[in-house]
Amino acid sequence: MSTPNGTSVHPLVEENRRLKEQLARLNRDRIEYLQNVAHQLVAPLNAIKWHIENLTEGRLSIDRIKKVMRSIYSQATQAVHLAKNFALMSNLEADHTLAALREPLQPVNLCQLLVNLADDYQPQGWDKEVDISVENQALDSAPPVLVIKPLVSQVFSNIIENAVKYSSPRSKIAINGSYDSTSDTVTVNVRNDGIRLKPEETPRVFERGYRAPHAKNAYPAGTGFGLYIAKKIVDIHEGVIGCTVTPKGSVIFSVKLPVKALEGKTRQREPKDRSASR
């Protein structure tokens, strides 16, 4: 390899330069990520602090107290969600296999999991008059999927949190699913209407740190790691995650998970009632 003035550069020198640039870029990304996480954590914690101060003054009506408590719950949910993503980020950066993770597999009823998550995020939705509904008829009849429950819960938590954040006021987030006996998989779809994605942007939403231009304009402080983490977890579970945009502009995130394909690939949690039956 030669420089512009014609002198040669040793390959090791060039490799050293490339590695230094890569390290500097990683450090910039790390600092930016920590700054974004800190900013997003401070906001809900300050809101909780402010609400508690109002409650301790004892001058609020019963209706106002109910609204304040609902807001505290919503802000606490957001803070917990951010903290979990922060903890998962460093762990999932490695090329993990399922067997390398410490959590055991367990059968999970996705319908019940999604109903619980919808209840958790509904207070945030109320702030924008956004309704979160789980169409559970088909999903409730699907068999349980064998997964690491805390990780899969975080997948849907990240998707629903994004849907709430980017939904238009007075819109609806629809969650549904189905079971395919041929492939022995359960698919969950989360649909929302709000900030639009261009079709060519949909594959990129799962990239590390990527945020669509419209999302950046609406919420400048986002990290762009929620969907990246979701894809990492789904990949570990040998599932498929995707994003599509309907002709009317609705955004649909789909997650397909195998029911029993992971059996025997890592340890499995013993059923709770087994010890009781002995």
Mean pLDDT of 2-11: 60
Mean pLDDT of 194-214: 85
| pLDDT value, residue 193 | 95
Tell me the pLDDT tens digit for each residue of 117-157: 999 899 888 888 999 999 988 898 999 999 999 899 999 99
DSSP state for residue 8 in the 8-state scheme: B
Q: Is the pLDDT of residue 40 over 80?
A: no
Please state at what angle helix 11-57 crosses helix 62-92, rounded to 10 degrees.
Answer: 160
What tokens appear for 132 in the block?
């979160």
pLDDT band at 278 (very low <50, low <70, confident <90, very high): very low
Query: Could you tell me which of 233, 243, 237, 250 has the C-alpha nearest to residue 186?
Result: 237
Which range, 40-44, 163-167, 197-201, has the best average confidence (pLDDT)? 163-167
CA atoms within 13 A on the CB side of 267: 7
For 268, counting Cβ atoms within 10 Å of its Cβ (0-12 exposed, 13-18 middle, 19+ buried), the class is: middle
Please state at what angle helix 226-236 crosses helix 62-92, rounded to 10 degrees.
Answer: 60
Mean pLDDT of 4-28: 75
| pLDDT value, residue 84 | 80
| pLDDT value, residue 95 | 61
DSSP state for residue 98 in the 8-state scheme: G
Cα–Cα distance, 191 to 171 (Å, whole number): 11
Whether the Cβ atoms of residue 32 and residue 224 lie closer than 8 Å to each other: no
Assigned fold of 11-92: Helix Hairpins (1.10.287)
Mean per-residue pLDDT of the chain: 83
pLDDT band at 115 (very low <50, low <70, confident <90, very high): very high
Cα–Cα distance, 226 to 233 (Å, whole number): 11
What pTM, to 2 d.p., does this model score? 0.77
pLDDT band at 238 (very low <50, low <70, confident <90, very high): very high
pLDDT band at 263 (very low <50, low <70, confident <90, very high): confident
| pLDDT value, residue 179 | 96
| pLDDT value, residue 274 | 44
CA atoms 93, 97, 103, 105: torsion sign: positive
Whether the Cβ atoms of residue 154 and residue 101 lie closer than 8 Å to each other: no
| pLDDT value, residue 244 | 94
pLDDT band at 277 (very low <50, low <70, confident <90, very high): very low
| pLDDT value, residue 90 | 65
Domain residue ranges in the chain: 11-92, 98-258
| pLDDT value, residue 23 | 83
| pLDDT value, residue 8 | 64
Amino acid letter, 31: I
Whether the Cβ atoms of residue 231 and residue 204 lie closer than 8 Å to each other: no
Assigned fold of 98-258: Heat Shock Protein 90 (3.30.565)
Whether the Cβ atoms of residue 145 and residue 110 lie closer than 8 Å to each other: yes
